Amino acid sequence: MDLLDILLQTGFWVAAFRIATPLVFGTLGELLCERAGVLNLGIEGIMTAGAMTGWLAVHMGADLWTGVALAAFTGLLLGSLHGVLTIPLGLSQHVAGIGITLLATSTTYFAYRVILPDATSPPRIAPFPPVDWPWLKAVPGIGPVLAGQTALTFLAFALVPVLVWLLYRTPLGLAVRTVGENPIAAEAQGLHVHALRMGAVLAGSALMGVGGAFLTLSAFNAFFFEMVNGRGWICIALVVFGGWNPAKALLGALLFGAFDAFQVRLQQAVGGAIPYQVFLMLPYLLSIVALVLVSRRASYPQALMRPFIRGRR
């Protein structure tokens, strides 16, 4: 199979969008937190918790969108813990974030085992089906690719312009960006720095929860331990890649999805001539190269990881 043939396959592009979707949710969530000045390393754990609660709700009889809402709520709860620790208490954002990840993953596994003590095979649910709208399929080129996606993918991609508009075109967005750049100036403007940061962390964490739920409610139909498998950490890198800009971050997520879909196909096409580990490494390697190239011009939020305490400079 030719390399070009792979790129022209509909299946390849369907896979690229599908792989990118949880990353888009997670990246937008992380970006929102960081734009307000809070690094959220709890993302990996929050995604795991969201994957589990969303799936569990559906397994227990709720409909799919209720599952998504519950996953968002789980993210919000864990985000509130991270927020309290890092914003009013001003603790180290690194330590608190890693702590949230450890806490959330362990609690998730614990809850899963308590609720399903004797599962020999995890219960399956009916996940989101591909939209398959005939009118969309008829569009040449991109049509069949989009029609192969589920509703959550459309939600993820729709969120990007919404977030761009919110951050760059509304007073609220300006305020959020200000507390991330210069909280003292924001305070002087009469803005409530802690409330704004808290709001951003809550909303961002909710998005991370939904990103996790995509894995159990759309990409797959059951919850497995460790199924987030480092996707949260990829999102952190994608935020840097996107230079804290939602549109560029979307591009990064799509690029990563395309690399991953490409390596799967390349591994099968080239066969055993090259060790399979090289292919598995490819998306990460290319991401590092991309990061090196972009990060030279990256300008991060000036107050990132700097707690704000009223009256202290």
Catalog residues that contact other proteins under the rule CB under 8 A: 1, 9, 11-12, 15, 18-19, 109, 113, 119-122, 124, 215, 219-222, 224-227, 229, 260-261, 264-265, 267-272, 276-277, 280
Q: Which is nearer to other proteins, 117 or 171 (CB)?
A: 117
* Shortest distance in whole angstroms from residue 54 CB to other proteins: 14
* 248: CB partners within 8 A, 6+ apart: 241, 242
* Shortest distance in whole angstroms from residue 224 CB to other proteins: 6
Q: Which is nearer to other proteins, 171 or 272 (CB)?
A: 272
* Shortest distance in whole angstroms from residue 91 CB to other proteins: 26
Instruction: For residue 189, give Cα distances in angstroms to 110, 174, 184, 302.
Output: 46, 12, 9, 18
Radius of gyration of the chain (CA): 20
The distance from CA 64 to its chain's CA centroid, rounded to whole angstroms, is 19
* Shortest distance in whole angstroms from residue 38 CB to other proteins: 29
3-state secondary structure of 130: strand
* Shortest distance in whole angstroms from residue 42 CB to other proteins: 20
Instruction: For residue 143, give Cα distances in angstroms to 95, 132, 133, 140, 237.
Output: 45, 10, 9, 6, 30
* 141: CB partners within 8 A, 6+ apart: none
Q: Which is nearer to other proteins, 12 or 65 (CB)?
A: 12
* Dist. CA 28–CA 40, nearest whole Å: 12
Q: Which is nearer to other proteins, 133 or 225 (CB)?
A: 225
Q: Which is nearer to other proteins, 11 or 161 (CB)?
A: 11
